[in-house]
Structure 1
Amino acid sequence: MTSFTSSAPKKEVKFRKPEWLRKKINPSAQKEMESLLKEVGGLHTICQEAKCPNISECFSKKNATFLILGNICTRRCTYCNVKTGLPTEVNLEEIEQVTKSVIQLGLKFVVITSPARDDLPDGGASQFYRVTRDILEKSPGTQVEVLIPDFKAKEESLQKVIDSGAVIIGHNIETVPSMYKIRRNASYERSLQVLKRLKELGQNKIKTKTALMVGLGETEEEMIQVFKDLLDVGCEFLSIGQYLAPSGDYAKVKEFVRPEQFERYKQLALDMGFKFVHSSPYARSSYLAHEYLGHESANKELEI
């Protein structure tokens, strides 16, 4: 899962974040959502676990990305704040807990994600299926997006999430190939294969989405090549945001990318063929997730 806060450059010299990266967190705006999560008990959000800088904004709008399958990851990526260790058993009660929260909050668009669960034979795909189906059956006016780990590219796991009824299936490529040392037990080629097979197994009916972090030392040429690779496997939705390290023990920020460069990446990606792109310093894979399909619907109306 993509996770971001700030750190020092390579020489460990302390420096301030630029003005465009000084987003303030408003704890009072989070109270209602956090109270609900405590009320249902045992629920996690990636917003909290990854210390997302958009948490106040999203929680105040009653938007959240639910983290199923616990809050412990079996991988130790050096950019992510989610805890690493031995996960607990799959909690079947969270199926009803997530749906209850969705209904109580009146959510019309929900994102479901999880840590990597390499300890499970299917990587947790069955739980994604059960949670999504339960939401759709009990809250028929709600759409669900799932943001999945790579499931080690197992086709039966990918088919399971395709069959869940999710309107978008996301899998984050995270960074350019030269930076893949930050993704433990993952590979660029495998992530591309996951996105490709989602389209093929879903008979091109599934919308696929991915996210990239910048500021790790990547070049524009590398980014453009990743755009090409993603389009080659049918990915149509893209998010690009600034990497911010959770602490000094994580991969270092090499550059604070300027807003103009984010706008340039957005225009390049759209010109190359992506259907919708969020590209800004605070863009994250699940941030304003409902806008991707909304934008597509608007385009269809204009075509008519």
Structure 2
Amino acid sequence: MPPQKAIPIQVRRATQPNCGPMPAWIRQPLGQDPHFGLTRTAVQENALHTVCEEAKCPNRGECWSRGTATFMILGDTCTRACGFCAVRTGRPEHAPDSDEPRRVAEAVARMALKYVVLTSVNRDDQPDGGTGIFAETVRLLRAANPGIGIELLTPDFRNCQDQALARIAPLAPLVWGHNVETAPNLYKTVRPGADYARSLRLLEAAARLPEIEAKTALMLGLGETEHEVLDVLRDLRAIGVQRLALGQYLRPSMQHLPVRAYIEPAQFEYLAQAAREMGFSWVKAGPLVRSSYHAED
């Protein structure tokens, strides 16, 4: 159970559409370490997409300087239009690229990664939701390095969850992530096309698979209350989710949802402690935390 007495929520309320200047703790340098350039070259020369770039992640400088990146497979066009996401949306012009798994495996080998995170756009246009590309990418990564650590951050596979479970279960051991993103009462505006119960069903099924740990993430600052966040965390623990990331929502552009509040670092610390007391085994919480931030820890 979480602590009985919470610290007061310390937030900077967003009263204007663009919310004004960000607090100092949000700002991050681009990254000057030599490994930053090596990571960028490995990604670009293999014609790959990363969520670091496509989603405008604030941690790109830090992670690329450490030689880590989250590869985004199945193209760069998502079939859904979430109000928080910077990834391009629309009808994909092409079927998934069958050569993409090979290029990802080559980039990972070139970067000498020991742990890799694979995510994707939603591909509701595909009968299997793109699970075949996920499976082939993991197969080639393991063929090149049997001991590599692998984490998936998948869509909810709207109409093909059973197919996704059947294809991904044999790929264990791995971490299977799927982000619930926010409180269920905000889904209509934040995640149109998604469904809170459907996301929980996928996470529960993943958590039950042998040698697979289920993981999820939430963005804070979209208008949720602390009580709603704690309720979501209880839902997640009840279905067996072990890994949790909590971060600050940052508006990618004026066309996206406004930030309703900047959450103070102390409140993230409180929520992290509450999550650990609920039984989450891996918790990252902070303004700049994203679902794959320090995933290899």
* Structure 1 residue 206: Cα displacement: 1.2
Asked if 1:178 corresponds to 2:165, the answer is: no
Task: Give the distance between the partners of 2:111 and 2:33, measured in 1 at CA.
Answer: 17
* Structure 1 residue 15: Cα displacement: 1.9
Task: Provide, for residues 270-301 of structure 1, a one-character-per-residue CA deviation record: whole Å limited to 9, x for no partner.
Answer: 0011111000111100010011xxxxxxxxxx
Q: Which residue of 2 aligns with 1:105?
A: 111
Asked if 1:187 corresponds to 2:192, the answer is: no
Task: Give the distance between the partners of 1:134 and 1:168, measured in 2 at CA.
Answer: 17
Asked if 1:209 corresponds to 2:193, the answer is: no
Q: Normalising to structure 1: TM-score of the pair?
A: 0.89
How many residues are paired up? Answer: 281
Q: Which residue of 1 aligns with 2:48?
A: 43
Q: Which residue of 2 aligns with 1:58?
A: 63
* Structure 1 residue 139: Cα displacement: 1.5
Question: Which residue type is aligned with residue 215 of structure 2?
Answer: K
1:69-84 map, 5 Å: 69-84=74-89
Q: Which residue of 2 aligns with 1:67?
A: 72
Q: CA RMSD in A?
A: 1.5
* Structure 1 residue 35: Cα displacement: 1.5
Secondary structure at 2:201's aligned position in 1?
Answer: helix
Greater shift, 9-18 or 274-283, is seen at: 9-18
Task: Give the distance between the partners of 1:64 and 1:73, measured in 2 at CA.
Answer: 20
| Cα 1:216–1:14 shift into 2, 3 Å | closer
Question: Which residue type is aligned with residue 133 of structure 2?
Answer: Q
Question: Which residue type is aligned with residue 267 of structure 1?
Answer: Q
Task: Give the distance between the partners of 2:89 and 2:21, measured in 1 at CA.
Answer: 29
Task: Provide, for residues 186-217 of structure 1, a one-character-per-residue CA deviation record: whole Å limited to 9, x for no partner.
Answer: 011110011011123x14x3101000000111
Task: Provide, for residues 59-113 of structure 1, a one-character-per-residue CA deviation record: whole Å limited to 9, x for no partner.
Answer: 1111011011101000000100000112121111111101111111110000001
Percent of counterpart pairs with the same letter? 41
Task: Provide, for residues 15-50 of structure 1, a one-character-per-residue CA deviation record: whole Å limited to 9, x for no partner.
Answer: 21111112222367532211122222x211110100
Question: Which residue type is aligned with residue 112 of structure 1?
Answer: L
Gapped regions of structure 2 (runs ≥ 5):
1-12
Larger helix percent: 1
Asked if 1:92 corresponds to 2:98, the answer is: yes
Task: Provide, for residues 193-245 of structure 1, a one-character-per-residue CA deviation record: whole Å limited to 9, x for no partner.
Answer: 11011123x14x31010000001111111011001100111000000000001
Q: Which residue of 2 aligns with 1:126?
A: 132
Asked if 1:168 corresponds to 2:175, the answer is: yes
Task: Give the distance between the partners of 1:66 and 1:261, measured in 2 at CA.
Answer: 30
* Structure 1 residue 249: Cα displacement: 1.0
Q: Normalising to structure 2: TM-score of the pair?
A: 0.91
* Structure 1 residue 10: Cα displacement: 4.3
1:1-304 map, 5 Å: 9-12=14-17, 14-26=19-31, 30-40=36-46, 42-87=47-92, 88-152=94-158, 154-181=161-188, 182-200=190-208, 202-203=209-210, 205-291=211-297
